[in-house]
Amino acid sequence: MVTERATEFDPSKIKDQALRDLCSVLEGVRGKKSLVVDKALSGPLGLIAQSSLLQATQIKNTPKIPGQDLEHSLFFVPRRTPLCDRILEDEGVFGDVTINEYPLYFIPLEPDVLSLELDDAFEDLYLHKTYSSIFNSAKALMLLQQQYGLFPRITGQGDKAKKLLDALLRMRNEAAAEDASTSMALAPSSIIENLVIIDRETDFVTPFLTQLTYEGLIDEVFGINNSHVELEASIIGSAMQNPVEATGRSVGAPPATPQGKKRKVLLEGSDRVFSDLRNINFSAVPGILKKTALRIDADFKKKDDYKTVSEMKTFVTKVLGPAQKDRTSLSMHFNIAEVIQKHINTELFEKTLEIQQSLIAGYSSNQQHELLTELIARGASLETVLRLLCLYSCINTGFKPKDFDLFRREILQGYGYEHVLTLDALEKIALLQSRTVAGSTAAAASRTNYDYLRKPLKLFSENVNESEPDDIVYVYSVYAPLSVRLVQCVIQKSAMAQAARGAGNLNPNSAGWKGFEDLVKNVSGKTFDEVQRGEDKAVRARMILDGQNDKKVTVVFFLGGITYTEIAALRWIAKQEDSRRQIIIATTGIINGNKIIQAATTDARTKPRQV
Amino acid sequence: LSGKRGIAFDEIAKSAFEEGRGRLATQLLNYEPRAGRQVPLLMSMEEDEIALDKAIESTDSDLVFYVLLHLKKKLPIATFFRIINDRPLAYSLIESSARVMDTELLKDLYYQDDRKTDGANVILRESLAQENFTTRIDKLKLASKLLKDSKDHLVDATALEESIKLLNIQESLERDIFEENFVGLSVNETIFKLTRLGFHPRANKIRSEFKMPDKRFWWIKLRGLVAKREWA
């Protein structure tokens, strides 16, 4: 694949490239074709290409036509491996298929978010420990390096993050061996300043908490997959009658959807109404909705200002069109906000939040136990309860053995004995443990110590301005995600040092973990700070070619998944840093607490096979 | 030669091997940084364990699995287990693929390593996948027995015994109360359903059988009555 040299960081190019690759791959197969897509792939693929495009390349969606002689082409995403060839050989079909590969790695969800959209990355990394997502992440980051130059500095935290670093360094050597003449391309980048890798394992607490931003709550209440949310037709509202103009492209659903049936809606930043709402704390949502309503109303009223025909024409295309679009979007978001508000007002939600916030604050009391058993008795969802139990265990270094047995019993009697498997899985990932295991010297040395970190990193704070936030605490109302605090230790040193006070005289130009080495020791896993150098000649050549930008890019990579709240917090930082740097968020996929628990309950959900 | 870029050590090594100088070939291959080229060659030279280690170093799980598949076919199972035992990535790959494709292999693996809890979990999963009621119970008994032997998971062993008790009660409920499903519900759900249907003595009996704390029982009862719209 030819990678072109770039002078600025532009994720949309990745999308264009992916689309071009897909087209060339498909055009390689002549004539009409039917496409059979792996279910796990169809979501991510939908973000690259729409069905209209696929039709243009003569694809008809007809799965299997028995009895007909067809040519078979097989496309491996993202790559073909000897293993697959071997399996095809063993099945005796190797000779009957044309095999090709489609190198799809990062998918730009937004201009500042790149995701591999690997749904099983969490299980792969922390439960099964098969690490294929580390290899895929390294490949994806390597592609960025081939395009923009080496990351001059790679700073990170976590055992799996270290494995990713090793894989990345190794791939650099492999690429150098591949072609000696490309050594120029592998000089340190002058566009990118650094890569920060955060391992999900360093901070499990954040995803277990209920996200309190607008987009975070949509994810908690409805669930967002591949940027799409499934909504009842009644919520989508007037968008229904006109699916083409609807906010968010509607995906392949017929216009006449029967009442009560769900439809997928794409949530993206190009929708003005949504982009104003997504990153704010939910408590500020009604205010923004009202403001937007007033603005749209004013836009419509402007028509009186325009007198001449040409003025009217401009008005209709420039003002009325977008305003119409905003209005449809606004009515949908009013409906969504209403459902969320109802959800928030339930007693179960309030009690859940009460437990979470007292745990975060570091209060430990019998009252939490009481509330937890009450939630179970009142039939709260298994996800809700297990998230709270894991939260307790992660913050308090496990449960006392007596309580541990008590809660296990509550879970098994409340939700079914098959969850012996779930509890076992959570214990293996060190999410739900007894103190006898979690408190052992070996385990204690490798776990994140929230008790210690709470103060110096200002993880908990009760004074936060939710409508005009002055700190990332706002995304959880009282808690600043540790994961994002770690990123701040690397790129916002002086602001963090003020909070930490202990680290007094800190050179603002120092890089890596400098100044925070002692704090990071209390975070799970290995710490690293690697500088990638190139030959002087190559570096100079690179600089001449790219020009020297003052504003450089920081790539923040979350291995094992990132939450919408963390994205919002990173965007808040990006805004502050806007004059100095551009922040690009990259990840294996978007995650939340429910998805983690669902990964652990896979075995318990085993069902008799239908014959 | 080391330190120079762009030399295809794999090809030099290949020639060396073809000349019959296997040792030299292996040594030369150490300089080849591209695992994708190194590993297949090592396998053709029958340097299987080195091939496996090089594949593991590459962090390419597919490549590792490729070597493993080859080894599993070639070697007696005990030797195969010995090879993967001190290589964590190889072990996890075999473990996770066997979970879906070959549970017998998984049981052998856990038996060999004396991982009784994991062995019991495999059987428990089989029990869940079982349509036939009697087989389902038998598998649960087997799993529970395994856990009891291991001694450090007595709580789980008791839990599985309780689950057998519950299944038996639920089956007899289904016989007595027509057209209602009980098998597969949790203890709490069973009590809730019985209350909603108005079978209070039966609900009470289960409560005492499973030593349910009062507070929990009253919450469930309350919910059941509300669902029944019986405001007492």
- Segment A293-334, tens digit of pLDDT: 999 888 888 777 777 888 888 888 888 888 888 999 999 999
Categorize the per-residue pLDDT at A233 as very low, low, confident or very high, splitting at 50, 70 and 90. confident
Looking at the DSSP assignment, which residues form a beta bridge with residue A197? A156, A557
Residue B195 has a pLDDT of 95
**Identity of the residue in A163, A608, A611 whose CB atom sits nearest the CB atom of B130:** A608
Q: What are the residues whose beta carbons fall under 8 Å from the beta carbon of A89, sequence distance 6 or more?
A: none
Domain extent listing, chain A: 1-104, 214-237+263-345, 348-447
Which chain B residue shows the shortest CA-CA distance from A416?
B186
Question: Quick check: A56 pLDDT over 80?
Answer: no
Question: Quick check: A215 pLDDT over 60?
Answer: yes
Categorize the per-residue pLDDT at A392 as very low, low, confident or very high, splitting at 50, 70 and 90. very high
Please state the separation of Cα A437 from the chain's center in Å.
31
B174-203 b/e with 16+ CB inside 10 Å = b? Answer: eeeeeeeebebbbbbbbbbbbbbbebeebb
For residue B157, which residues of chain A lie inside 8 Å, CB to CB? none
For residue B181, which residues of chain A lie inside 8 Å, CB to CB? none
Residue A187 has a pLDDT of 84
Say yes or no for a CB contact (<8 Å) between B59 and A170.
Answer: yes
* Per-residue pLDDT of chain B in tens (232 residues, 90 and over written 9): 444 555 666 777 777 777 767 677 777 667 666 767 788 888 888 888 989 998 998 889 999 999 999 999 999 999 999 999 999 999 999 999 998 888 999 999 999 988 989 999 999 999 999 989 999 999 999 999 999 887 777 888 999 999 999 999 999 999 998 788 999 999 999 999 999 999 999 999 999 999 999 999 999 999 999 998 866 5
Classified as helix, coil or strand, A58 is coil
Start-to-end CA distance of chain A, whole Å, equals 46
Pick the CATH number of A1-104 from 3.40.50.410, 3.40.440.10, 3.40.50.1370, 3.40.50.2060: 3.40.50.2060
Edge to edge, the sheet with strand A192-199 lists A107-110, A113-115, A581-587, A552-559, A192-199, A153-157, A527-531
Check if A120 contacts B (Cβ < 8 Å): no
Classified as helix, coil or strand, A601 is coil
Say yes or no for a CB contact (<8 Å) between A174 and B35.
Answer: yes
Q: Which of residues 62-81 of A touch B (CB under 8 A)?
A: 81
Say yes or no for a CB contact (<8 Å) between A417 and B212.
Answer: no
**Identity of the residue in B58, B69, B117 whose CB atom sits nearest the CB atom of A86:** B69
Which chain B residue shows the shortest CA-CA distance from A423?
B156
- A249 vs B206, more confident: B206
Residue B229 has a pLDDT of 82
User: Do B112 and B77 meet the contact criterion of CB atoms below 8 Å apart?
Assistant: no
What single-letter DSSP state applies at residue A531?
A: E
Fold of the CATH domain A214-237+263-345: Syntaxin Binding Protein 1; Chain A, domain 2 (3.90.830)
Say yes or no for a CB contact (<8 Å) between A128 and B96.
Answer: yes
Rounded to an integer, the average pLDDT of A390-411 is 94
For chain B, what is the total number of helices (H) and then of strands (E)?
Answer: 14, 0
The shortest C-alpha distance from B206 to chain A (Å) reads 11
d(CA A155, CA A591) in angstroms, rounded, equals 22
The shortest C-alpha distance from B54 to chain A (Å) reads 12
Check if A61 contacts B (Cβ < 8 Å): no
Which chain A residue shows the shortest CA-CA distance from B117?
A424
For residue A140, which residues of chain B lie inside 8 Å, CB to CB? none
A188-200 b/e with 16+ CB inside 10 Å = b? Answer: bbbbbbbbbbbbb
Residue B134 has a pLDDT of 94
Say yes or no for a CB contact (<8 Å) between A177 and B32.
Answer: yes
Say yes or no for a CB contact (<8 Å) between B219 and A378.
Answer: yes
Q: Percent of chain A scored above 90 by pLDDT?
A: 56
Edge to edge, the sheet with strand A228-232 lists A224-225, A228-232, A262-266
Note the pLDDT tens digit of each residue in A405-424: 999 999 999 999 999 999 99
For chain A, what is the total number of helices (H) and then of strands (E)?
Answer: 28, 14
Rounded to an integer, the average pLDDT of A148-161 is 95
Please state the separation of Cα A447 from the chain's center in Å.
23
Residue A242 has a pLDDT of 43
For residue B131, which residues of chain A lie inside 8 Å, CB to CB? 608-609, 611
For residue A604, which residues of chain B lie inside 8 Å, CB to CB? 128
Rounded to an integer, the average pLDDT of A267-289 is 94
Residue of A80, A118, A130, A169 best to disrupt the B interface, most CBs of B under 10 A: A130
Residue A57 has a pLDDT of 60
Check if A173 contacts B (Cβ < 8 Å): yes
Question: Quick check: A464 pLDDT over 60?
Answer: yes
Across all residues in chain A, what is the average pLDDT? 86
Question: Quick check: A441 pLDDT over 60?
Answer: yes
Single-letter residue type at A10:
D
Residue B230 has a pLDDT of 67
Q: Which of residues 564-593 of A touch B (CB under 8 A)?
A: none
Start-to-end CA distance of chain B, whole Å, equals 90
Whole-number CA gyration radius for chain A: 26
Residue of B5, B37, B41 best to disrupt the A interface, most CBs of A under 10 A: B5
Question: Quick check: A240 pLDDT over 50?
Answer: no
Residue B226 has a pLDDT of 92
**Identity of the residue in B65, B156, B215 whose CB atom sits nearest the CB atom of A420:** B156
Q: What are phi and psi of A550, to 5 degrees?
A: -80, -35
d(CA B10, CA B16) in angstroms, rounded, equals 10
Most confident residue range from A20-29, A394-403, A506-515, B38-47: A394-403
Which chain B residue shows the shortest CA-CA distance from A123?
B96
Note the pLDDT tens digit of each residue in A59-72: 555 555 555 567 77
Residue of B71, B74, B128, B141 best to disrupt the A interface, most CBs of A under 10 A: B128
Please state which CATH number belongs to domain A348-447.
1.25.40.850
Rounded to an integer, the average pLDDT of A572-581 is 93
Q: Percent of chain A scored above 70 by pLDDT?
A: 86
Q: Which of A477, A456, A474, A570 is nearest to A520 (CA)?
A: A456
Residue A46 has a pLDDT of 86
CA distances B50 to A12, A426, B25, B35, B79, Å, are: 43, 35, 12, 11, 15
Residue A250 has a pLDDT of 41
Which single residue is written with the structure tokens 């139990």? A389
